Amino acid sequence: MSFVTYFPGRGTVRETAYLEGKVEGKVEGKAEGKVEGKVEGKVEGRVEDRAELILRVLEKRGIGVPEDARQLISSCTDLDTLTLWFDRALTATSGEDLFAEEPGAGQAPV
Residue 52 identity (one-letter amino acid): E
Q: Are 25 and 33 in contact (CB under 8 A)?
A: no
Q: What is the DSSP secondary structure assignment for residue 10, as one 8-state letter?
A: T
- Specify the pLDDT at position 57: 95
Give the separation between CA 1 and CA 74, rounded to whole angstroms: 68
Nearest 5°: CA angle at 80, between 93 and 44?
Answer: 110
**pLDDT of 31 over the 80 cut:** no
**pLDDT of 19 over the 90 cut:** no
pTM assigned to the model: 0.59
Of residues 102, 88, 96, 101, the one with CA closest to residue 57: 88
Give the separation between CA 16 and CA 22, rounded to whole angstroms: 10
| Cβ neighbours of 55 (radius 10 Å) | 17
Write the pLDDT tens digit of every residue in 49-96: 999 999 999 999 999 989 999 999 999 999 999 999 999 999 999 888
Residue 102's alpha-carbon distances to 64, 96, 110, in angstroms, are 22, 13, 17
Alpha helices in 61-110 (DSSP H): 67-75, 79-89
93 or 15, higher pLDDT: 93
